[in-house]
Amino acid sequence: MHISLSSADMARVERLEKTRKTNFRFTSLMSRYLNLFPDGVKAEFVSELVAEFGATPEEAFCAALTALLGLDTENDDDRIIIRKYLPNAVKCLDSFYYRSNPYYREVKINPASQNGWELKEMSLAPWEGFVYNDPVLLPDYTEIPRIGFFRDTFSFPAVLENGREWMTLMPNETATLENAVSRCFGNVVTYGLGLGYFAYMASRKENVKSVTVVEKDKNVIDLFTSRLLPLFPNKDKITVVNEDAFVHAEKTLPFGGYDYVLADIWHDAGDGLPLYLRFRKAAEKTKNIKWDYWLEETIITYVRWPVFGEIYNCIKSGVDSALFPDTEIKSFEDIQNILSFEFLRSHACEIGDFFKIQE
């Protein structure tokens, strides 16, 4: 990769580097908030702002987060967070909309425990923050994590392993699987069982003939088949296979007459990248099958910024990069093309090999 830019384009690169740093800082702040004190926004405080000053619930929540995170309105960097990131990140969600989801309506959880695994209901408290969908990427590469809250208590099913959360069906899971549910058809395979949400939603579709769920943990399968699967109206469409996902993808998938695959064996985008890249290589051998990957757009974020870092280091050092060795970058638009979702997705395996991204 050889780079030759004008001074005007260099200035745009520096602005993008500043945006990258601010993205990272805001994501770190939100991670700290969600992991350490997701219930730190108090109903009394936000209710007072709404009642006395006419603030919207989102404005009140942002004001509470500003104080909670110790952001300084007089600091230039903090003002960017307060004025640009927080208002675009925070949303008051309609709990009725999520409760209307067929899974929430029809699958009534009865608490159960077996072999160290527990099926139960958990809940979000009023004003408790949580990630409710994939981040938004603005045209200037500002990345906005989407933080939601309800004004009432919201219950959801969960599976725990030895007292630790293993899988929950929070609004983020239903929202980020919408596209996969809408696109699946024919004979479907999904790698990863969880609470069976995708299998349940796929089985409801008339154009879906069968759903094969591949899960390697026998205890999870036993809990699902004994406690959840009997509650599914279209359970006869669903088959659960106890096998490693990659063994199935390499040995069974190409010959099983399948039409669609969803890969969903990671807990979040952060730990998903190496598994995603491994599935992408498996998908190259099954070009007649349509593949989707849970949280793919977010996972690509973990590819985008290392690539930009390589470009930036190349510019600063004046040394050509072995990444995309035949590529000439002559404008900022060339950089934008490389950082696009479409380009990064199509070159994800090459990028993963270059950065030695592996499990």
- State mean pLDDT over 181-203: 97
Is the pLDDT confidence value at 45 over 90? no
pLDDT tens column, 223-272 = 999 999 999 999 999 999 999 999 999 999 999 899 999 999 999 888 99
- Is 207 buried (19+), middle (13-18) or exposed (0-12) by CB count in 10 A? exposed
- State mean pLDDT over 311-336: 93
Give the pLDDT score at 171. 93
- CB–CB of 47/64 below 8 Å? no
Give the pLDDT score at 335. 96
Give the pLDDT score at 359. 64
In which band, very low, low, confident or very high, does the pLDDT at 334 lie, cut at 50, 70 and 90? very high
Token pair 């399948």 is at which residue? 258
Of the candidates 278, 283, 286, 264, the one whose C-alpha atom is nearest the C-alpha of residue 352 is 278
pTM of the complete model: 0.92
In which band, very low, low, confident or very high, does the pLDDT at 80 lie, cut at 50, 70 and 90? very high
Give the pLDDT score at 93. 96
- Helix, strand or coil, per DSSP, at residue 144: strand
Q: What is the spatial distance between Cα 63 and Cα 40, in angstroms, rounded to a whole number? A: 12
pLDDT tens column, 265-312 = 999 888 999 999 999 999 998 989 999 999 999 999 999 999 999 999
The residue ranges of every structural domain in the chain are 12-88, 95-172
- Helix, strand or coil, per DSSP, at residue 288: coil
pLDDT tens column, 140-178 = 999 999 999 999 999 999 999 888 888 899 999 999 999
Is the pLDDT confidence value at 50 over 90? no
Average pLDDT, the chain: 94
Q: Which two tokens mark 346?
A: 């199509």
Calculate what percentage of the chain has a pLDDT beyond 70.
100
Give the pLDDT score at 132. 95
HSE at residue 206, side-chain half, CA atoms within 13 A, is 0
Count how many residues are written for the chain: 359
Q: How many CB atoms lie within 10 A of CB 159?
A: 21
- Is 3 buried (19+), middle (13-18) or exposed (0-12) by CB count in 10 A? buried
- State mean pLDDT over 107-116: 86
Is the pLDDT confidence value at 42 over 90? no
